A and B are shown apart, each in its own frame.
Chain A
Amino acid sequence: MTDQDKEKVYEQAIKQAKNTINVASVLVLAGVVFMIQLTYFPQFFSSTDQNISAFDTTAVDPMVMTMDLDPTEIENGIHVPSGLIVDDGVDLVIRTCGVCHSLGLVTQNKADREGWKDIIVWMQETQGLWDLGATEDAILTYLANNYAPVDEGRRRNLEVLEWYDL
């Protein structure tokens, strides 16, 4: 290799090194910008455009059935203010049953579909409940699915919330 050749190799090496440093600098800069945006402008990267997602008919949004429920009030599938299990028809139950009595009367009771129907008929016959019309079917489905009886035998095990030294 001649001295000239050697010089060319050095020049190329220096060029490559400069390019690498430039690319790295750009990458670092981009990274810093990204981090700043992620930290201070997170919505820039999140795809929460509800106008667009509302057009998405492939995903059935469970909240469509419960439009009036505040999502921040739902914990572990329970609508905290009412205590009801979140499922199709829960809004109808809240609006219909909650008008006249505590929804605690729903959550503490258990019955199959026929049993819940009996309760509705009893309320209609004696308590002034109106004809539920087409909503009755959805309400019964909700109640029978979510508040069905559990066979607990003739005596259940004791539950102790808190042990303490006597």
Chain B
Amino acid sequence: MAGATKSRGDLLQGTLDMLILQALLLGPAHGHTIAKLIGQRSNDLLQVEYGSLYPALYRLEDRGWIAARWGASQSNRKAKYYRLTPLGRKQLTIETSRWARLVTGVAHVLRPAT
């Protein structure tokens, strides 16, 4: 059933989750802003696939890490605003430290042999 989502890879998915949580640390935002934020903060190195972003948002909401509310945007249209929940904040620290460990590990592996 879930074959299509699985194939996208756990690492990427987990990473995207972490990036979303990190982006929301600055305050509530809607999907489009979140994507823009991640793009800007990575100096346009990371281009978020919208096709992955929205399912990820729903998944995080289902897990209770973020909460959503409909509000008016700057252009005065109805937009869905996401904000970090306390649970999400805790999850972010877990994800961040896991990422740090992963990066360190990978760096060690890639380090030229002495």
Q: Specify whether A and B are partners.
A: no
Q: Which residues of A contact B (CB under 8 A)?
A: none
Binding site for A on B (CB under 8 A): none
